Amino acid sequence: MKLLIENGRLINPATATDEVLNLLVEEGKIKKISKTKIIEEAEKYIDADGCWVVPGLIDLHVHFREPGFTHKETIFTGSLSGVMGGFTTVCAMPNTKPAIDSPQRVQELLAKRQEAGVIKILPIGSITKSQAGEELVDILALKKAGICGISEDGKTVMEEKLMKWAMDRAKEENLPILVHCENHKLVAGGVMNKGKLAETLGLEGIPPEAEDSITKRDIQLAQQVGARLHICHVSTKGAVDLIRMAKIKGTKVTAEVCPHHFTLTEETVGHGDPNAKMNPPLRGKEDVEAILEGLKDNTIEMIATDHAPHHEDEKALGFKDAPFGIVGLETALSLSITELVQKGTLTPLQLIEKLSYNPARLLGLETGDLSEGKTADITIIDPRMEYTIDKEKFYSKGKNTPFHGRRVKGRVMYTIVDGRIVVDKGRLIPELEEKYKEYR
Ligand SMILES: NC(=O)N[C@@H](CC(=O)O)C(=O)O
Ligand SMILES: [Zn+2]
Ligand SMILES: [Zn+2]
């Protein structure tokens, strides 16, 4: 199919482009980019006047819950949620049941992705078998099956020797190792940030040191081994400082932060809202300020959602007993534009770098770049459009968000995967809508 995208503001970090350009897509590729009008007969024209035309967003960190927890999310509903949020590729964390710890599990996931036929899903393998923290997976076999990295997300590999070994193996296979940094001993049953508010609510706190100590350990291990370390969902000032220092020393470390950690503080927990409960927890004002500073000076070069859907009945158990995690795919872009671009922390170019170009570089993908000849994974955003977040409109099965009712700016108008429009004028295409209705 031939598609012409006209008059859009093309924002392409790969070439530092930020100007009004026309773009021709043909057979899933970007055929031509031009300042002057492209004279071609196309099957479809998109007038992108006033909109941003950006490389399809890439989310390094989602939980799609299939197999094992399909009442929370499936690969299909998660995929729809992703494209509605402007994502064309997501990396699926392995904490399913069973965990993604063998080539067969990877193949099953990829087959499900094929069947869903919407978004690109890159599996992340677990570090240990069944995420039990004991026996290392066969990293080479998993790599051959198609993983893009390894992670024990949701848990920390507490055994230092085992972690070092995992880094060694990941390095040998040239795979990034994505780490959830939390010292189990210091978390010790905590459910929110440790401090005055937790005390007032009578809840056990999770001290920032729980995150800082493992961040420090893993950076040191990565320095010794030379592994490609990626730090997930940074939430503390201490961790931002450690990552900054490590980079100055030349360590191969990258980091991501989630929109909730740069938008909210522990105050959002209020009297105990389970939709403000996640891992790592919402922290203090100084932590949010440090994260914003880290985003600005590129200590944190990626934004990921940590999309963690849970069922409403599970979240209804009350703050103490509800599971950790919130959904993020359908709110990440608007929150990022509202909180980071509108408030002057990042330029649009810097934001898209963190939401697409940098994750693509970490994973060694050729996407995340809107240059001629590249794959046509494209997101078109109207930055002027203001709306109120409504969880009932999410395609995700998970409605667990602390952002319901929040006014935000910037909306996804088109999501294009391999040259195929899947979100058209802000709506899912009829074909997928039908499948979604049937499925529900
Ligand atoms: N973030 C969360 O609070 N929960 C995640 C696990 C994780 O990312 O650690 C989940 O799988 O529910
Ligand atoms: Zn995690
Ligand atoms: Zn996670």
Q: Is the distance from CB of 175 to CB of 150 less than 8 angstroms?
A: yes
Protein residues near ligand 2, an ion, with CB under 5 A: 153, 180
Cβ of 274 closer than 6 Å to ligand 1, yes or no, is no
Q: E-assigned strands of 63-219?
A: 87-92, 120-125, 149-151, 177-179, 192-193, 205-206
The model's pTM is 0.98
Question: Of 336, 363, 390, at which residue does a domain stop?
Answer: 363
Considering the domain architecture, whether residues 352 and 383 belong to the same structural domain is answered as no
- The per-residue DSSP string of 231-289 comes to E-S---HHHHHHHHHHHHTT--EEEEE-HHHHH--GGGGTTT-GGG--SSPP--HHHHH
Instruction: Give the active site residues.
Output: 306
Ligand nearest to the CA of 309: 1
β partners of residue 25: 3, 30
Cβ of 325 closer than 6 Å to ligand 1, yes or no, is yes
Characterize the bridge pairing of strands 52-55 and 2-12: parallel
Per-residue pLDDT of the chain (440 residues; tens, 9 = 90+): 899 999 999 999 999 999 999 999 999 999 999 999 999 999 999 999 999 999 999 999 999 999 999 999 999 999 999 999 999 999 999 999 999 999 999 999 999 999 999 999 999 999 999 999 999 999 999 999 999 999 999 999 999 999 999 999 999 999 999 999 999 999 999 999 999 999 999 999 999 999 999 999 999 999 999 999 999 999 999 999 999 999 999 999 999 999 999 999 999 999 999 999 999 999 999 999 999 999 999 999 999 999 999 999 999 999 999 999 999 999 999 999 999 999 999 999 999 999 999 999 999 999 999 999 999 999 999 999 999 999 999 999 999 999 999 999 999 999 999 999 999 999 999 999 999 999 87
Ligand nearest to the CA of 306: 3
Which atom of ligand 1 approaches the CA of 232 most closely?
8
CATH code assigned at 66: 3.20.20.140
**Is 368 contained in some domain?**
no
Ligand 1 centroid distance, CA of 324 (Å): 6
**Is 269 contained in some domain?**
yes
Considering the domain architecture, whether residues 289 and 423 belong to the same structural domain is answered as no
Which atom of ligand 1 approaches the CA of 155 most closely?
9
Name the domain count of the chain: 2
Q: Which one, of 236, 243, 332, 324, lies nearest residue 284 by Cα?
A: 236
Considering the domain architecture, whether residues 351 and 336 belong to the same structural domain is answered as yes
Ligand 2 centroid distance, CA of 313 (Å): 22
Ligand nearest to the CA of 154: 1
Question: Of 337, 363, 389, at which residue does a domain stop?
Answer: 363
Ligand 2 centroid distance, CA of 279 (Å): 6
Looking at this protein, which amino acid is placed at residue 71? H
Best mutation site among 62, 279, 327 for ligand 1 pocket (most ligand atoms within 8 Å of CB): 279
Range of the domain at 410: 2-53+374-439
Considering the domain architecture, whether residues 241 and 380 belong to the same structural domain is answered as no
Tokens standing for residue 42:
């196309």
β partners of residue 149: 124
**Is 38 contained in some domain?**
yes
Q: Ligand 1 atom 10: the closest Cα is on which residue?
A: 308
Ligand 2 centroid distance, CA of 262 (Å): 16
Q: Is the distance from CB of 248 to CB of 262 less than 8 angstroms?
A: no
Considering the domain architecture, whether residues 309 and 356 belong to the same structural domain is answered as yes
CATH code assigned at 390: 2.30.40.10
Q: Give the per-residue pLDDT at 418.
A: 98
Cα angle for residues 259, 264, 265 (degrees, 5° grid):
135
Cβ of 279 closer than 6 Å to ligand 1, yes or no, is yes
Query: 38-60: b or e for each residue (b if 16 or more CB lie within 10 Å)?
Result: beeebeeebebeebbbbbbbbbb
Helix orientation angle between 75-84 and 103-116, rounded to the nearest 10 degrees: 60
Best mutation site among 95, 187, 235 for ligand 1 pocket (most ligand atoms within 8 Å of CB): 95
- Secondary structure element (H or E) that encloses residue 215, with its range: helix 208-225
Considering the domain architecture, whether residues 222 and 133 belong to the same structural domain is answered as yes
Q: Ligand 1 atom 2: the closest Cα is on which residue?
A: 325
Burial of 12 (0-12, 13-18, 19+ CB in 10 A): buried
Considering the domain architecture, whether residues 136 and 39 belong to the same structural domain is answered as no
Q: Give the per-residue pLDDT at 315.
A: 98
- Whole-number CA gyration radius for the chain: 21
**Is 369 contained in some domain?**
no
Q: Give the per-residue pLDDT at 439.
A: 81
Q: Is the distance from CB of 378 to CB of 52 less than 8 angstroms?
A: no
ipTM greater than 0.85, yes or no?
yes
CA distance 354 to 349: 9
β partners of residue 151: 178
Considering the domain architecture, whether residues 341 and 391 belong to the same structural domain is answered as no
Considering the domain architecture, whether residues 98 and 154 belong to the same structural domain is answered as yes
Question: Of 304, 335, 363, at which residue does a domain stop?
Answer: 363
Considering the domain architecture, whether residues 355 and 407 belong to the same structural domain is answered as no
**Is 62 contained in some domain?**
yes
Cβ of 153 closer than 6 Å to ligand 1, yes or no, is yes
Protein residues near ligand 3, an ion, with CB under 5 A: 153, 306
Cβ of 308 closer than 6 Å to ligand 1, yes or no, is yes
**Is 424 contained in some domain?**
yes
Cβ of 81 closer than 6 Å to ligand 1, yes or no, is no
Considering the domain architecture, whether residues 319 and 228 belong to the same structural domain is answered as yes
Considering the domain architecture, whether residues 136 and 269 belong to the same structural domain is answered as yes
